[in-house]
Every structure is written in structure tokens, then in C-alpha cells.
A and B are shown apart, each in its own frame.
Chain A
Amino acid sequence: MPVSETPAKPKKLARQQYLDLYYYMRLNREVEETMTRLFRQNKIVGGLYASLGQEAISVGTAYALEKRDWLAPMIRNIGALLVKGVPPRDIFTQHMAKYTSPTKGKDGTSHFGDLDNLHIISPISMLGDLIPVMTGVAMAGRYLGQKIVAMTWIGDGGSSTGVFHEGLNLAASQKAALVLILENNLWAYSTPVSRQVPLENLADRAKAYGISSYIVDGNDVVAVYTTAKEAVERARAEEGPILIEAKTFRRRGHAQHDPAEYVPKEQRAYWEKRDPITLYEKFLTEEKLLDAQGKKEIEDKITALLEKDREFAENSPMPPPELASQGVYCTGPECHNLQPKWERPVEELLPPKSCVQPVWTVEGFGSGTVSSGSSAPIHFGDVPTTADKPPIPARPPAKAAPKPVKKPTPKKSARKGAR
């Protein structure tokens, strides 16, 4: 099992791909800069979490996905959302708690998703929970015959949670098409990675799950993209989950309120010289992929888009108070529109085709063990009552059981009725 492979030598990308990566990194940064200004104007309702200096990871990894693939971001992966097709206005309205936001103001930040079109699953603040969720997405995708890949992110801090282990282990045992990006930005709030994990490379954790991993320079967008692309292809080819450690640095505090004075000056200076966008601009200029004119066109495009979307967000109303009591339950047939999209014959999954020979049995295994059997080897707590413990009389529930009404309706409408 190869551990922490060196990413493949970056292949030549198409010119448009190079420019896309640049566009999304710039967009990522400008969206966040716009929000920083809004925050200072007290227009952001809650916290604001920056990904300054980590844009190459969000953008490079998500850019490796196809439209059918699924992703679940973390709080600093706005770049991934933009690549997947989320308009900046959704991000502005979310942060400003507006009624026009994807959650209608019920949650903030990048806590929103889109199951129907963009295949985005909303993050929650409890780190690691998305790993088993995305494992389930990958398992369901395989079950439906869809050949999808599920991608999610975790930080150096989040990799210490129990559910990181449970999720990655389940993914490995299921050979689920999961690509997990571990953004090692060296800080979990104020705790340096050296005080969290006694490992030089967090990618080493993959070894414990028997899965492949990569280590990549998280500030080199082409390297990130190339590595993620290879991982996504391998996961799609059913090689199992893959862990990518992207090494980077969190240039702002945990959130806007945190000046991050605990970060050593030398460390900050080192990484500020390695700004992913500056590095990439230099590369693009040297490779003659981008000139001043091209750069200005991209900047103008971004400025116009963000101006429009920011204005939309600022002019949007807050949600009406009566919304607070709505939507806890999914009621009515229109609420759950998710029908499985089968891309394989369903008959394979129904008897008789789905039936398997119980080759694991030995003679007598399982015989007479159904509920009516009495000699079955069963777990404690499920034994017939004995004389020294008078049983609670099993009430004949004759009165209890109302006459069943047989539903003559076909399965589909019976299902609707059950809602």
C-alpha cells in the first residue's frame, strides 16, 4: 500500500483550465475581501471565517470534480462552493442572514447545501461529521450505479475527532469513492499542530486505514489540482478512499475576532511570501498564459459580479419572524422530491436476483432462530421468562389491534399517504 505518494508531475493543462483556476482563486479571495468590508460595516450577522492563503486548496480540489460528483465543504472552503457553481450572492446573503439566502436566514456562513442540482451537502460546526456522511453518499452512488465521487475537507484540528476515524475506517472497509482533503493549516484555533498530533505528516494517518494518500503543497494550485484529479479518478475507479494532505497556513485568525497573536512572526512571514495567488500569477506570466490585459479582464469581471451580488444581498430583506416556527419537519409530498436516480437495473437489487447463497453457515446455523424458535442461541434479555420472575402477562391485544384496513392503493400512493 503506497503511503503518501508524491503527486504526479503536473501535466500540462489546457489554457482555459489554467485560467479557470486563476479566476476562481481570485473570486474566492475577492468574495472574502468583500465580506471583510461588510463585516467592518456590521453587516455580517455572525462570525466570518477567512481562507486567506488557502484558496489554492479549495479551488484546486473542487475543480477536479465532475458535475455529477458530490462535495461537502468546511467553513473555509468557499472557493470549492464557487467552483461547484454557487453564486457569490448566496454566500453574501448567507453571511448577512437574509431571507434570500439558501437557508432563508436559518443558518449562516457556508452552512447550506443543494441536493438537487449542485450536489452540495451542508457542513455543520462539529468537525468530522461529514466524513461518514460523504461515505454514505459514495456508498449510495455506487448502489445506484452512478459512478460518483464524494469529496470533503477536514483540518489538522478536525483530524483528531473520533468521527474522523469512524468515517475513514468505514469508507476504507467499504472501499467508498471518497476523497478526503486534509488541510493542514498548522493551527486549530490557537493550538499549533505540533501540540495536537505527534506526526510530521498527517497523511501518515492513511496508513492506519490501509488507504492511499498524497502530500501536496497546498499553496501550489496546479499541484493541488493535479493531485486531486488523480485521486478522484482513482476513487472513481473503485480503488477506495484517498486522503490528501495539503500543507498550508491559516493567515488570518480563527475568525475575524481573533488577531492570532499566538502565531510566531517568522512563520507568518514565511507563508506570506508564499501567497498562492501571487505564486500562480508569476507562473501564468512566465508561461505566457496571462498578461496585464487578461488579468484586468478577469478583475473587471469579478468586480462587476461581486458589485451586483453584494448589492442584491444588501437590499434583501431579513426573514419574517413567522419563518422561525416553520420547517422542522418535512411534510407533504412536495417536500421530499428526492427520488433515487437509478443508473443500473433495479431488478439486480430485488429478489430473486439479489438473493445470495448463505455460504457462511455451518450445519444448523440460523435454523429455528426466527422468533418462533425456542432453542435458538440468542442474546441475553431475550429469553422466555422463568418461574422466579413472574412475567408481565402478555395481554391479548385483541382490543388493541384495530381491524386493519387493507390499502388497495398501489405502493406509490400508499407511500404518500404515510407522510
Chain B
Amino acid sequence: MAPITFLEAIRQAMFEEMAADPSVVLIGEDVGVYGGAFKTSEGLLEKFGWERVIDTPISESAIIGAACGMSYLGLRPIAEMQFIDFIACCFNQLTNFVAKGHYLWNAPAPIVVRGPSGGGVHGGPFHSANPEMYFLHTPGFKIVYPSTPYDAKGLLKASIRDNNPVLFFEHKFLYRRIKEEIPAGDYTVPLGKAIVRREGKHLTILSYAAMMHTSLEAADALAKEGIEAEVIDLRTLLPLDEETILNSVKKTNKCLVVHEDTKTGGIAGEISAILFEKAFHDLDGPLVRVASLDTPVPYAPTLEEAFLPNAQKVFTAAKALAKF
């Protein structure tokens, strides 16, 4: 098989799930005729028709509400946010209605809300968000944020088949910039499992999505200086794979978290708390965070570059931690 892009992996996952299961439908803005703003759903309308590929008005709350209502009759809707930033428009519908349904009245909503997220592409303050932490604080969701085409496809399929509402973030910087050979046919990647992308013994770098690649780049540079970093791709933020994190920290005794989300209230804080609770005696250094600035995502390339973490920043922080 020829290598495919991250974007194509998303498209294939939706295509295959819809072909296999008529209860899977896609609903969102411009997902039909146009095939989605990034063409992730191109060709789905031609194949599955108007009833299954539903173009909506610009109404994010209605998209989520309708997807949820559809799921109550046994369907498995995929709801697309044209840009994940717009998920803020349906915050109430998601956090108060969808997420609480199973706990309160035994009504799971097996929907997937997916959309392009992240910066580094000069999208400006309203098209570059990493809003995962707003939802991590809401019991009831699963939160997935893949970094490779293989994972994107396998995790999206697993998300569609999951019986809980899943928020699926697709880092748009990765859409066409990475390619990977993936196996033909059906496979899934389980939710809630992190993966060790690179083994090392001097420190653990935890990351996900685009920053996973940044972390690997930094790890290469660190290796040249004799520092072997273990790079872990979290893949699913909720539920978080604590076991893989704790096992690695037990080995390396140092932990650096890299995320593109802004620093305050980012997942690094939560991981830090987990390590203090469960790995206090394993730690030989402070938990270090490399994250975006606590500002909106600025537009100008020079500003956005300053805003985002990069391999150099990770390298510097990791080196200092290794020497601690």
C-alpha cells in the first residue's frame, strides 16, 4: 500500500465505518457537496447519499443536539466541527447534555465530535485552538488526539464504535505533512492506551498530536548529546493511560510534558498532580512543562512561532532537566 496522509486516514476511517454499518452517519457544515473544508469527507456524499451525509446550517449547538438525538435511536453519528474552535459554540450542549446523559439517566450518546485543531498554520486566534482541556474537566467524554495516520484511522474507528461520546481532535498541521503506510482493511487502536514512540532512560517526554513530532525531533538532538529521552505519545487524554506514564517515570525518574495547548490548565498540570500522588518517590527532578504561552493564538508568523513550543524549546528544557 502506498503511504497515506493523516487526512486520508481520517477519510478512510469514516468511509469504512459507514460502508460497514448503516447506523453511522456524518453531520456538519459543508461535509457533503464540498466534502468538508479540508476535504476529509470528500466522496462520502457520492457514496452514501444525502441521508447519511448531512449538510447543516451554521449551528454548532444544533449539530451536536441533533447528533445526540439521533444516537438515542441507535445511530452512531459523527459530528464535524469545521474548525474545532467552533466547539465553543456548542459547549453547553456537549457538557450539560451529552456528557451527563449516561451518568444521570442511563442514556449513553455514542457520538464522535471531530474537527481540525491546532496551530502552526497561521490560522489566527479563531482557527488554531486546542480546546481539549475545557472538556477534560467534564466527566463523561473520551478525548482522543492522535499524531500519526495509522493511529488516526484506528482511533477514529474505535471512537465511532465506542458507546460514549468521544471528542476527536485532528491536528490540522499534520493533515498533509505526514504520510505513513498503513495496513489495508479493518483495524482499530484502543482508546485509553498511550504508546512509547522512542525508548530512553534519562528522562520521559510526554506529548501528543503535532508536539509528539516536535518531541521526537528534540529527542534526536538530545541523543547526540548522550541524553536518551523516552518519548511517549499519549494518544488518548481521557481516559489517560496512567500505567504507561508511571512505568516510564519509574524507569527514567524525570518527566517533561510537551503540549501545544496553553500552559495554565493544560494537561501537564494534571499529569504533574498524578506523578506527585503516585510517583513521588520515583522523581529525581521537577516536572517540567513546555507549552504554548498563556495568550490567544496570535496571527503573525513571528508571533505564532514565539507562542508555540518548538524542538529547540523542548531540547533546552529537556537538557536542563536531564542535568538536574
Chain A residues with a Cβ under 8 A of chain B: 102-103, 106-107, 111-113, 115, 121-122, 124-126, 129-141, 143-144, 146, 150, 162-163, 166-167, 169-170, 173-174, 327-331, 335-336, 338-341, 346, 349-351, 354-358, 360, 366, 369-372, 376, 378-385, 389, 391-397, 399-402, 404-407, 411, 414-415, 418-419
Q: Assess the B172–A135 pair: CB atoms within 8 A.
A: no
Q: Assess the B150–A397 pair: CB atoms within 8 A.
A: yes
Interface status of B272 (Cβ within 8 A of chain A): no
Q: Assess the A139–B70 pair: CB atoms within 8 A.
A: yes
Q: Could you list 14 A-B pairs, sorted by A, with CB under 8 Å?
A: A111-B105, A124-B100, A143-B25, A144-B75, A162-B61, A174-B54, A327-B102, A350-B22, A378-B39, A382-B172, A400-B197, A400-B233, A407-B186, A419-B161
* Count, chain B residues at interface, CB 8 A: 111
What's the minimum C-beta distance from A79 to chain B, rounded to whole angstroms? 20
Q: Assess the A392–B19 pair: CB atoms within 8 A.
A: no
What's the minimum C-beta distance from B163 to chain A, rounded to whole angstroms? 4
Report the separation of the CA atoms of residues A370 and B148 in the bound assembly, to the nearest whole angstrom: 18
Q: Assess the B183–A406 pair: CB atoms within 8 A.
A: yes
Report the separation of the CA atoms of residues A360 and B121 in the bound assembly, to the nearest whole angstrom: 30
Interface residues as binary, B296-324 with A (CB distance below 8 Å gives 1, 0 otherwise):
00000100000000010000000000000
Output the nearest chain A residue to B211 by Cβ-Cβ distance: A392
Q: Assess the A394–B69 pair: CB atoms within 8 A.
A: no
Output the nearest chain A residue to B82 by Cβ-Cβ distance: A379
Chain B residues with a Cβ under 8 A of chain A: 4-8, 11, 19-23, 25, 33, 35, 37-39, 42-43, 45-52, 54, 56-57, 59-75, 77, 92-93, 96-97, 100-108, 110, 116, 120-123, 127-128, 139-140, 142, 147-151, 154, 157-158, 161-164, 172-173, 175-183, 185-188, 190, 195, 197-198, 210, 213-214, 216-217, 233, 301, 311
Which chain A positions have C-beta within 8 A of B108? Answer: 330, 335-336
Q: Assess the A349–B52 pair: CB atoms within 8 A.
A: yes
Which chain A positions have C-beta within 8 A of B157? Answer: 418
Which chain A positions have C-beta within 8 A of B22? Answer: 340, 346, 349-350
Assess A358 versus B46: contact at CB under 8 Å? Given A381-B123, A382-B38.
yes
Assess A404 versus B49: contact at CB under 8 Å? Given A133-B69, A397-B150, A419-B163.
no
Q: Assess the B65–A356 pair: CB atoms within 8 A.
A: no
What's the minimum C-beta distance from A146 to chain B, rounded to whole angstroms? 8
Q: Assess the B186–A414 pair: CB atoms within 8 A.
A: yes
Assess A392 versus B217: contact at CB under 8 Å? Given A371-B8, A381-B121, A399-B197.
yes
Report the separation of the CA atoms of residues A125 and B74 in the bound assembly, to the nearest whole angstrom: 25
Q: Assess the A133–B47 pair: CB atoms within 8 A.
A: no
Report the separation of the CA atoms of residues A157 and B233 in the bound assembly, to the nearest whole angstrom: 48
Partner of B105, one of A112, A358, A415: A112
Q: Assess the B65–A122 pair: CB atoms within 8 A.
A: no
Q: Assess the B197–A115 pair: CB atoms within 8 A.
A: no
Which chain B positions have C-beta within 8 A of A146? Answer: 73
Partner of B96, one of A113, A126, A346: A126
Q: Assess the A356–B50 pair: CB atoms within 8 A.
A: yes
Q: Assess the B158–A418 pair: CB atoms within 8 A.
A: yes
Report the separation of the CA atoms of residues A124 and B233 in the bound assembly, to the nearest whole angstrom: 37
Which chain B positions have C-beta within 8 A of A378? Answer: 38-39
Report the separation of the CA atoms of residues A25 and B211 in the bound assembly, to the nearest whole angstrom: 61
Output the nearest chain B residue to A141 by Cβ-Cβ distance: B73
Of A167, A379, A383, chain B has the most CB atoms within 10 Å of the CB of A379
Of B57, B110, B154, B233, chain A has the most CB atoms within 10 Å of the CB of B57
Partner of B198, one of A106, A138, A150, A399: A399
Output the nearest chain A residue to B9 by Cβ-Cβ distance: A371
Report the separation of the CA atoms of residues A166 and B65 in the bound assembly, to the nearest whole angstrom: 10
Q: Assess the B74–A341 pair: CB atoms within 8 A.
A: yes
Output the nearest chain B residue to A104 by Cβ-Cβ distance: B106
Q: Assess the A384–B176 pair: CB atoms within 8 A.
A: yes
Which chain A positions have C-beta within 8 A of B122? Answer: 380-381
Q: Assess the A330–B164 pair: CB atoms within 8 A.
A: yes
Which chain A positions have C-beta within 8 A of B96? Answer: 124-126, 129
Which chain B positions have C-beta within 8 A of A341? Answer: 73-74
Which chain B positions have C-beta within 8 A of A137? Answer: 69-70, 72-73
Which chain A positions have C-beta within 8 A of B121? Answer: 380-383
Which chain A positions have C-beta within 8 A of B179? Answer: 394
Partner of A169, one of B57, B173, B210: B57
Report the separation of the CA atoms of residues A140 and B23 in the bound assembly, to the nearest whole angstrom: 9
Partner of A166, one of B50, B61, B180, B210: B61
